[in-house]
Structure 1
Amino acid sequence: MLGIYLNDHLAGSTAGVERARYLTRASRGTAIASAMGQIATEIAQDRDMLLELMRRLDVPARQYKILAGWAVEKAGRLKANGRIVRRSPLSTLIELEVLRVGVQGKVAVWQTLRRLSESEDRLDPGLIDDLLDRAHRQLRTLEELHLRQVTETFRTPGRSRTGARG
């Protein structure tokens, strides 16, 4: 059961790395670019650490799950965003939401491994606590970026806060 669970999270992590890197490239020249670059780097490091913890636990990484995570992320880019040629602010908003969900999933796997570390000598509780702290920090940053992007995406000249013309 643990192997299935960790491989499912590995698939999600693979998708998260790809999505974070994509959003980082797409946000060049914007206010979120610097923060996204840091988060993308950390998400990739976290995926590497998940693989390392799987090795320590003798859980083989299933290549088909890794490929599935990669493919799902690529397919997720095909959504309609209201624009044909240029990138829509709605794309950035939705991608930030997807990343928030992914980081929440990462928090869950770290919490699970932290609990298992109480009876599993191959898991270092201090390391997992550090991973949890970093994931919570990533989540706070993504939430801040999301709130800024909400304002950017739905800012309409000549409208009041309620959306009525004024």
Structure 2
Amino acid sequence: MNLELLTTYLNDHRAGATAATDMLERLINENQGEPLGDFATTLLNEIEQDEAELEGLIKRYDAMPGVVKQAVAWAGAKMTTPKIGRTMAGDFGNFQTLEILSIGILGKRALWRMLQSLSDPELLSLDYGRLIERADSQFQQVEQWRLRIGTMAMNSTAAV
């Protein structure tokens, strides 16, 4: 197995998790005391658990943290602020954030499926069935929120 490609792949997904964490923290801050904020808090805890699983794999392969990739992910999340940030407290900004998160969760599911298909003993130590099931559940929940908030946003008379 090409360890350089594997560690690049793992670090790419770590960067995605960093961006997701930042977006969820913004959702939590903008929706404190509301059901969406509570949901985002629960989802953040699950995403952090998934990220810990990923970190464990990266450490097994002695991969140096992708500092540049993590910085790019962080900057990418911040760059969404001008577009999403100006309406972040509103339904449309929440809708956009949920849509980005849903795409990221599908990517994470694809990561777990890919790793499950490889035959390396270090990779086979994770319970991919559980991780895939959790990603499916996360996607379904985010999708429900995305559709609910998106419908409210699209039916709103508020300007963006």
TM-score, normalised relative to structure 2: 0.86
One-letter identity of the residue aligned with 1:141: Q
Q: 1:80 to 1:122 in 2, by over 3 A?
A: closer
Matches within 5 A, 1:10-29: 10-29=14-33
TM-score, normalised relative to structure 1: 0.83
CA distance in 1, matches of 2:84, 2:41: 25
Deviates more, 1:53-62 or 1:131-140: 53-62
Asked whether the 8 Å contact 2:15–2:69 carries over to 1, the reply is yes
SS in 1 for 2:123: coil
Instruction: Give ranges in structure 2 of 5+ residues lacking alignment.
Output: none
SS in 2 for 1:79: helix
* 1:31-54 Cα distance to aligned partner (Å, 9 max, x none): 322221110111122112111111
Aligned length: 153
One-letter identity of the residue aligned with 1:22: R
Aligned to 2:95: 93
CA distance in 1, matches of 2:39, 2:78: 22
Asked whether the 8 Å contact 1:51–1:61 carries over to 2, the reply is no
Identity over aligned pairs, percent:
29
Pairwise CA distance, 1:55: 1.4
CA distance in 2, matches of 1:156, 1:129: 40
| Structure with higher helix content | 2
Aligned to 1:42: 46
Asked whether the 8 Å contact 2:7–2:61 carries over to 1, the reply is no
Asked which structure has the greater CA Rg, the reply is 1
Matches within 5 A, 1:6-155: 6-79=10-83, 87-116=89-118, 119-124=119-124, 127-155=127-155
Asked whether the 8 Å contact 1:89–1:152 carries over to 2, the reply is yes
CA RMSD of aligned residues (A): 2.0
CA distance in 1, matches of 2:102, 2:48: 15
Deviates more, 1:70-79 or 1:49-58: 49-58
CA distance in 2, matches of 1:12, 1:64: 13
